């Protein structure tokens, strides 16, 4: 179907406590406007959780293939203020030095203590370059030191997030498996790793498994199947010729979004994004 161009409004939104490349904080209201009514929202690629934070479904299923991310949410849900206090101890002047950062990053990659690993995930997210979550092919976190003057500890944001987690189920499964649990009354919002602007470009892996074009197509097949039985699926992606063709059977909404992930300020320009609504 022909794409519809939309403008971004300035309605107040809740900001997630984690930085996230491709996060939906800036377009949360736009996504929300296109989510059908339902009793439960399922997010197979939850990321930092901007859509979760800015919607009001009765219940949620928050899923992500990144187990480190989901473990952070689990400890935050379980321990609330105690876990927040535990995380805060890593936000010191001494820990904001490159040598300390490298030691803590190595500890994150080696430790079997999942509570410690989860707290270090929060620390790394706020101390690495642009909050970029990146792993090598061996599953080791390898983003470089961000060298920020005073990294912000998101205490208030974590507390709000922890309260909202009360109505959630947290999982770390392949997107195809979590989508099969959907039933009538559910709404599914998918924010997969984006298709590159050029199909010769490489994906930036926020987990060692990556996400390829075959999986992008598999996601569309599942979206069609679910929408055919009355379960709406909404997918975000980069607006390219490939995604326009990929989502040709959905209602398409196109709009501009400011991106900030580039290290070169001059390259931080608006990009075209697309919402595909299978309903």
The DSSP code sequence of the chain is ---EE--------PPPSS--TT-SGGGHHHHHHTPPP-SEEEETT-TT-HHHHT---SEEEEE-S-HHHHHHHHHHHHHTHHHHHHHHTT-STGGGSHHHHHHHHHHHHH---HHHHHHHHHHHHHHBGGG---B-TTS-B-PPB---SSPPP-HHHHHHHHHHGGGEEEE---HHHHHTT--TTEEEEE-PSPPPSSTTSPP--SSTT---HHHHHHHHHHHHHHHHTT--EEEEEE--HHHHHHTTTSEEEEEEEE----SSGGG--EEEEEEEEE-
Q: How many domains does the chain have?
A: 2
The confidence score (pLDDT) of residue 260 equals: 55
197 and 110 share a domain?
no
Residue 160 has pLDDT above 70, yes or no: yes
178 and 266 share a domain?
yes
Instruction: State pLDDT tens for residues 11-60.
Output: 578 999 999 988 899 899 999 999 999 999 999 999 999 999 999 999 99
Q: How confident is the model at residue 196 (pLDDT cuts 50, 70, 90)?
A: confident
Provide the pairing of β-strand 251-258 with 4-5. Answer: parallel
Q: Is residue 226 part of a domain?
A: yes
Q: What percent of the chain has pLDDT over 70?
A: 86
The confidence score (pLDDT) of residue 8 equals: 39
Residues 157 and 15: their CA atoms lie apart, in Å, by 7
Partnered with residue 202 across adjacent β-strands are: none
The confidence score (pLDDT) of residue 10 equals: 46
254 and 194 share a domain?
yes
Q: Is residue 87 part of a domain?
A: yes
Residues 154 and 156: their CA atoms lie apart, in Å, by 6
Domain end, chosen from 102, 132, 157, is at: 157
Residue 145 has pLDDT above 70, yes or no: yes
Handedness of CA 30, 35, 41, 42 (dihedral sign): negative
Q: Is residue 28 part of a domain?
A: yes
Q: Average of pLDDT values for 144-148?
A: 96
The confidence score (pLDDT) of residue 262 equals: 47
What pTM value is reported for the model?
0.89
CATH of residue 103's domain is 1.10.1020.10
Q: Which two tokens stand for residue 162?
A: 């922890």
Q: Mean pLDDT across the chain, nearest whole number? A: 90
209 and 150 share a domain?
no
Q: How confident is the model at residue 203 (pLDDT cuts 50, 70, 90)?
A: very low
Residue with tokens 């379960």: 231
Domain end, chosen from 133, 157, 181, is at: 157
189 and 274 share a domain?
yes
Instruction: State pLDDT tens for residues 104-139.
Output: 999 999 999 999 999 999 999 999 998 899 999 999
Residue 226 has pLDDT above 70, yes or no: yes
60 and 9 share a domain?
yes
Domain end, chosen from 157, 184, 206, is at: 157
Residue 212 has pLDDT above 70, yes or no: yes
Residues 232 and 277: their CA atoms lie apart, in Å, by 7
Q: What percent of the chain has pLDDT over 90?
A: 79
The confidence score (pLDDT) of residue 211 equals: 87
94 and 229 share a domain?
no
The confidence score (pLDDT) of residue 51 equals: 97
Q: Is residue 163 part of a domain?
A: no
Q: Average of pLDDT values for 219-227?
A: 98
138 and 220 share a domain?
no
250 and 194 share a domain?
yes
Q: Is residue 162 part of a domain?
A: no
Q: For residue 235, which of 172, 56, 222, 39 has the smallest C-alpha distance? A: 222
The confidence score (pLDDT) of residue 11 equals: 56
Q: Is residue 167 part of a domain?
A: no
Residue 247 has pLDDT above 80, yes or no: yes
Q: Is residue 229 part of a domain?
A: yes
59 and 92 share a domain?
no
84 and 210 share a domain?
no
Q: Is residue 165 part of a domain?
A: no
Domain span holding position 153: 71-157
The confidence score (pLDDT) of residue 114 equals: 98
Residues 213 and 45: their CA atoms lie apart, in Å, by 16
264 and 190 share a domain?
yes
């Amino acid at each position: 179907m022909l794409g519809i161009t939309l403008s971004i409004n300035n309605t107040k939104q809740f900001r997630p406590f984690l930085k996230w490349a491709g996060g939906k904080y800036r377009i949360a209201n736009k996504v929300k406007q296109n989510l059908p009514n339902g009793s439960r929202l399922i997010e197979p690629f939850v990321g930092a959780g901007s859509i979760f934070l800015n919607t009001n479904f009765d219940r949620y299923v928050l899923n992500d293939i990144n187990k480190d991310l989901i473990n952070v949410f689990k400890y935050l849900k379980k321990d609330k203020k105690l876990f927040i206090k535990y995380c805060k101890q890593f936000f010191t002047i001494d820990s904001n030095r490159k040598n300390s950062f490298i030691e803590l990053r190595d500890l994150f990659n080696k430790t079997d203590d999942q509570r410690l690993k989860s707290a270090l995930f929060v620390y790394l997210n706020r101390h690495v370059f642009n909050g970029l979550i990146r792993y090598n092919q061996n599953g080791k976190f390898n983003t470089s030191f961000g060298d920020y003057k005073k990294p912000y500890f998101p205490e208030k944001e974590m507390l709000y997030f922890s309260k909202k987690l009360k109505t959630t189920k947290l999982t770390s499964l392949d997107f195809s498996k979590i989508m099969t649990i959907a039933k009538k009354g559910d709404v599914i919002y998918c924010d997969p790793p984006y298709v590159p602007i050029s199909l010769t470009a490489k994906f930036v892996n926020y987990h060692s498994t990556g996400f390829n074009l075959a999986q992008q197509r598999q996601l569309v097949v599942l979206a069609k199947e679910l929408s055919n039985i009355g379960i709406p699926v909404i997918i975000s992606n980069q607006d390219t010729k490939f995604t326009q063709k990929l989502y040709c059977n959905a209602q398409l909404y196109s709009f501009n979004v400011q991106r900030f992930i580039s290290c070169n300020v001059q390259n931080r320009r608006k990009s075209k994004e697309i919402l595909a609504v299978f309903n």
